[in-house]
A and B are shown apart, each in its own frame.
Chain A
Amino acid sequence: MSTPMPTTTRAALDVERIRADFPALHQEVHGRPLVYLDNAATTQKPRRVIDAVSRFYEYDCANVHRGVHLLSQRATVAYERARTTIRKFIGAADSREIVFTRGTTEAINLVASSFVRPRLEPGDEILITGMEHHSNIVPWQLLCAATGAVLKVVPITDSGEIELDRYEELLSDRTRFVAVVQVSNALGTVNPVKRMIEIAHARNIPVLVDGAQAVPHARIDVRDLDCDFYAFSGHKIYGPTGIGALYGKREHLLGMIPYQGGGDMILSVTWEKTSYAEPPHRFEAGTPNIEGAIGLAAALDYLDSLGLDAVAAHESELLETATAAVLAIPGIRLVGAARHRAGALSFVMKGVHPHDIGTILDSEGVAIRAGHHCAQPVMQRFNISATVRASFGVYNTIDEVQRLVDGLHKVKEVFG
């Protein structure tokens, strides 16, 4: 993701065939063929994922980890197999290091509550960056409010990159935890997380990586990164909503207190003493999102079948083409022009508010996101209230980039 892919892989993806796999793409909105460029918000789902979820409800619907009957066994096998699929996909060594969550947000909250909170004394520090999504800000603010810890923020440059020197300076002897986004949802910046982890580890500080916008666009290897925790969501990688995963190093998970109490996370319950299940089940109280886990595994298998390198090459070509084409329109300015970007293009147009651009593009069949992207501090950093964000997925085409550009010319026509 951080280096350009060789051009030879660019022909490897048959995008028309891929598009045929996604039923939702083949519809008209406002009388125009849909151009879906809001993939950083959520992706469309391939038939394989939709079928996997349907199949669970049609044949295998039962609760997991409890029944002795066949359906329960099938459900349990499918659910645990999904865990293995996720482990392989992100390069973890042990399936017990994969915890199912509702998504990235819940994964971060889980780490905040069960790993970081017990380690905090008043005056301790948590370090995040100036380009985090609200989901990697607010849990830490809540934690600081409850414990007297202090939230520190690494500033970002005018081009939307982390100030690495400042990062090093801000790691103090009170820093207990670092949480950093790998790919910014608002700017598309790819952060040097591997380097940041090395720097933190040299000071014995554990690191969580928010990978929500990274996993769809590049091969992730949590062992190569050496992160302590890695969080991502299913729905941004062609899987269902309401499911995601937390990777945590085994030694960390083993020492962590439960996040929520309930069924399926215990060994035994008595009035005198309740003992908890081993990780990962310790962190999965209650009946889980079984069909979500199965659907997510189907999505990862699908992406694997396409080849992550080919997917990344295709998307970086789309991003490069779109960046050049959009910048060629007078009055448009990129917000965040980092050297390494993935997935998303954020921009503003002189004299026209992003919401008006969003409505006009929608009338042309082009779906983009207009707003603060749940990253208001990023907007404040650039003294704007909102941007237009076009974000790309595996099924987007260069023709669709052209539809975006045509739509932006319509905006200029309307607003003169």
Chain B
Amino acid sequence: MSDMRELYQEIILDHNKRPRNCYVMNCANKSADGHNPLCGDTVKVYLRIENGIIEEISFQGAGCAICTASTSLMTESVKGKTVEQAKDLFDEFHHMLTGVAAEQGVELGKLQVFEGVREYPVRVKCATLAWHTLNAAMKGEEKVTTE
């Protein structure tokens, strides 16, 4: 049970219940659909990027608590950041989840709450689906899967 509290921290449960930036963005200039074929979860990420800066980000969809909370927290974390900073953040986040030592010393902030997911290898993709989708959108790709 205590293990479960480590995985499902309050902030994750909160963002799962009340996801932030969860809306269709009509003025988006980039977007991508992410799909986890393993579980059927899908997320669409919308971006408005001006001069290399993520001015606005939103999403629709998602699935389990880990996936939904990760998507919601991601939107909060990258808003106002440059595309390059967002990519560095993804790298650092990915390193945390896969147990590979971080290289760049990027501050993860609230994203640190997902550290517990590392103990659940089958759930890592739940936490990274949104990030893969963001990455695809920033690169101008329209679709991405976790497989």
Contacts and interface: CB of A to CB of B under 8 A. Distances in A.
> Is chain A's interface secondary structure helix, strand, loop, or mixed overall?
helix
A385 B123 contact: no
A416 B13 contact: yes
A356 interface: yes
A131 B7 CA distance: 35
A377 to B, nearest CB: 12
Nearest to B38: A371
Interface string B45-86: 000000000000000000111111000000000000000000
Contacts of A372: 39-40
A29 to B, nearest CB: 12
B66 A356 contact: yes
A327 interface: no
Nearest to B39: A371
Given A372-B39, A386-B40, A416-B13, A356 B64 contact: yes
A414 B2 CA distance: 10
A271 interface: no
Contacts, number: 56
A353 B8 CA distance: 13
B113 to A, nearest CB: 15
A363 interface: yes
Contact of B63 (A359, A376, A385, A410): A385
Contacts of A385: 39-42, 63
Nearest to B41: A385
B40 A379 contact: yes
B8 A356 contact: yes
A372 B13 CA distance: 23
Contacts of B64: 353-356
A84 B39 CA distance: 40
Interface string A347-358: 000011111100
Given A371-B40, A379-B40, A385-B39, A355 B3 contact: no
Interface string A367-406: 0001110001001000001100000000000000000000
Given A359-B4, A363-B3, A413-B1, 8 more contacts: A355-B123, A355-B126, A385-B63, A386-B39, A410-B4, A414-B5, A415-B13, A415-B65
Interface of A: 30, 351-356, 359-360, 363, 370-372, 376, 379, 385-386, 410, 413-416
